[in-house]
Amino acid sequence: MFRYVGIFLYFYCSVALSEPPYSGGETTVFNTSVNAFSMPAKNLSLIRREGFFIGNAFFKNPWVTAPASTAARDGLGPLFNTNACQSCHVKDGRGRPPLDDENMISMLVRISIDVPHAKQYLQQLTENGLIAEPVYGGQIQNRAIRGVKPEAEVTLEWLESEFKFPDGAVVKLRKPEVVFSDLAYGELDENTVVSARVAPAMIGMGLLEAIPESTLKQFVTTQKQSKSGVSGKLNYVWDRRLQKKMPGRFGWKAAMPNVKQQVASAFSGDIGITSNLFPESSCTSKQVKCLSAPSGGEPELTNEILDFVTFYSKSLAVPARRNMDDASVQRGEEIFAEINCNSCHVETMLTGADKEFPEYSQQEIHPYTDLLLHDMGEGLADGMSEFEAQGTEWRTPPLWGIGLLQTVNEHTNLLHDGRARNIEEAILWHQGEALNSRNAYAKLSYEDRQKLLDFINSL
Ligand code: HEC
Ligand code: HEC
């Protein structure tokens, strides 16, 4: 009897690490609690975990106005959205649009101007991929320190529409329109383009950074050759450290080449904390009181703290899949492939070698993304371009962990602006390159649609 159990265990363990429950390879954690997105990578050594916890403190705790006795964490603002990373990436998870009577907290609004290419904008286009609004900058900061006016009040109005399934079922959809009031520094430029974005979940970032560029290029080729209408492309974005263009991987339009630059840009744009990588303050030259407010140092963020927060951001583990023995989940997985969802939400790939992060190297992972930009049609378009990404284009978001969103964040709002209230609404917004998949989903029987949703909820 014991021998059989032993044989069973032997087979079980020998296949386990490469099987899909281990979405993040050896970094995968088995945690289905409210803290499911907050765990360090499983294979991070005890010593390396110290850095994780130091980074966590700077991610969680609020920054304060300068000058302050806690010099390490002063320099908030003058303009900012909120005073801690955690306020947007709630429990290391995802933000959401405000409810009717709430302020906008866990999402932000980017702005840029859309003008014909002109010589004076070349540097901005090369380094930022867009042209910032001349007075307000690249993002509306709806809060400010005392003595400085916040840029504006931001609210959303919802435009409702209906989707009718061939079988007669009807689903209500909603799309946000951004409304600015109390614009403190005058009217916005008439060519202003607006993009509302929720904070994405923080899991698996080190693994996504470790996927070789050659793998991403292979996805481009495979999609082109498939002639299925799905044809993604890499964003090529400015790497501030290397001073050259690199593949974009992070942000809803893949405008950031690596986690460190994304983190430094969040410190500068969202919290108003300058660093060597992002020395620019949150004030533009037209915001005079903002410019004369006291600073928390030059720069406000030390390289050391930036490194800790980057290490933390790269090390949050992906939770394992659940309910994989469920027949409905198994059939849903087949349907996911049959209707070509997996052409963009690619299941399996290998990470490359990274000497600094052996934990994320050579891992077989199941992120359900190709990290490529896709034209998703006018319904989802924000009209904003960032580097190579056009107004209709978005990066395929990873789907790992998506079924735990309700547990961690107590909502299931999806897509770049959180408009979808659940997975089905998110699918129904897919158009452009994904229109065939969306239509194939709509043609499924009610039962098969539920199976597909069960599968996605098991990720
Ligand atoms: C005001 C809300 C807000 C705050 C505060 C904030 N973020 Fe974000 N974060 C976002 C949004 C929105 C995005 C997507 C950005 C985009 O698409 O341009 C994002 C993206 C990211 C990403 C990339 C995620 C991905 O899936 O590509 C990382 C990493 C990140 N933030 C880390 C941080 C860190 C570290 C801090 C604190 C220094 C921070 N963020 C503060 C809203 C916020
Ligand atoms: C052409 C590429 C493509 C195909 C095919 C595709 N998707 Fe997507 N998917 C995307 C992109 C890009 C987004 C992000 C769009 C946005 O936020 O505006 C997305 C978003 C999602 C989201 C929300 C994720 C999040 O983090 O908010 C879900 C769920 C999803 N897709 C499921 C599916 C399913 C199921 C199918 C098959 C019916 C499918 N997708 C087919 C590219 C694709």
Q: In the prediction, which pLDDT does 282 show?
A: 83
| Nearest Cα residue to 109 out of 146, 160, 84, 143 | 143
For 330-359, write each residue's pLDDT tens digit. 999 999 999 999 999 999 999 999 899 999
Atom of ligand 1 nearest to the CA of 310: 35
- Confidence label for 20 from pLDDT (cuts 50, 70 and 90): low
Pocket probe mutation, ligand 1, options 81, 88, 312, 369, max atoms within 8 Å of Cβ? 88
Q: pLDDT tier at 116 (50, 70, 90 boundaries)?
A: confident
- Least Cα distance to 214 among 341, 340, 349, 344 occurs for 349
Q: What is the pLDDT of residue 15?
A: 43
C-alpha neighbours within 13 Å on the C-beta side of residue 108: 24
Q: Which of 99-108, 154-163, 297-306 bottoms out in mean pLDDT, i.e. has the lowest?
A: 99-108
> Which residue, 201, 171, 169, 170, is CA-closest to 413?
201
Task: Report yes or no on 185 lying in a domain.
Answer: yes
Distance between start and end Cα atoms, the chain: 35
| Ligand 2 atom nearest to 438, measured from its CA | 38
> Mean of the per-residue pLDDT values for the chain?
94
Record the pTM: 0.95
**Is 18 among the domain residues?**
no
pLDDT of residue 119: 79
Residue 313 scores a pLDDT above 70:
yes
- Domain contains 332: no
Share of the chain above pLDDT 70, in %: 95
CA dihedral 432, 436, 437, 441 (to 10 degrees): 120
* Dist. CA 427 → ligand 2 center (Å): 6
pLDDT of residue 448: 98
pLDDT of residue 112: 97
Looking at the chain, the whole-number percentage of residues with pLDDT higher than 90 is: 86
Q: Tell me the residue type at 44.
A: L
108 close to ligand 1 (CB < 6 Angstrom): yes
Cα–Cα distance measured from residue 369 to residue 379, given in angstroms and rounded to the nearest whole number: 21
Tell me what pLDDT residue 70 has.
78
Q: How far apart are CA 198 and CA 132, in angstroms?
A: 20
Going by alpha carbons, the residue nearest to atom 13 of ligand 1 is: 199
Domain carrying residue 181: 25-320+340-443
The predicted pLDDT at position 169 comes to: 96
φ/ψ of 33, rounded to 5, equals -90, -175
Answer positive or negative: Cα dihedral of 283, 288, 290, 293. positive
Whether the pLDDT of residue 1 is over 90: the answer is no
Which region among 64-73, 169-178, 247-256 has the lowest average model confidence (pLDDT)? 64-73
pLDDT for 14 equals 42
Please state the domain count of the chain.
1
Q: Which atom of ligand 1 is closest in space to residue 250's alpha carbon?
A: 27
The CB of 237 under 6 Å from ligand 1? The reply is: no
Find out whether the beta carbon of 373 lies less than 6 Å from any atom of ligand 1.
no
Ligand 1 atom closest to Cα of 259? 29
Has residue 328 got a pLDDT over 80? yes
pLDDT the model gives residue 265: 97
35, part of any domain: yes
Does ligand 2 lie within 6 Å of residue 340's CB atom?
Answer: yes
**Could you tell me if residue 227 is inside a domain?**
yes
Q: Virtual CA dihedral for 298, 300, 303, 305, nearest 10 degrees?
A: 160
* Residue of 163, 226, 344, 394 to mutate, ligand 2, most atoms within 8 A of C-beta: 344
Res 4: pLDDT: 52
Would you say how long the chain is, in residues?
A: 459
- Give per-residue pLDDT as tens, 44-53: 999 999 999 9
One-letter amino acid for residue 459 of the chain: L
Overall average pLDDT of the 64-90 stretch: 91
Query: How does residue 11 score in pLDDT terms, banded at 50, 70 and 90?
Result: very low
The per-residue pLDDT for 7 is: 46
Residue 118, in any domain of the structure: yes
- Is the CB–ligand 1 distance for residue 273 below 6 Å? no
Q: Answer whether 267 contacts ligand 1 (Cβ < 6 A).
A: yes
The CA R_g of the chain, rounded to the nearest whole Å, is 22
Does the beta carbon of 254 sit less than 6 angstroms from any atom of ligand 1? no
* 9 pLDDT above the threshold of 50: no
Q: Residue 198 in contact with residue 417, Cβ under 8 Å? A: yes
In a domain, 330, yes or no: no
Q: What is the reported pLDDT for 52? A: 98
Q: What is the mean pLDDT of residues 208-229?
A: 97
Domain contains 335: no
Specify the ligand 1 atom closest to the Cα of 312: 35
**What is the rounded CA–CA span in Å between residue 176 and residue 178?**
6
Q: Which residue has the higher pLDDT, 212 or 284?
A: 212
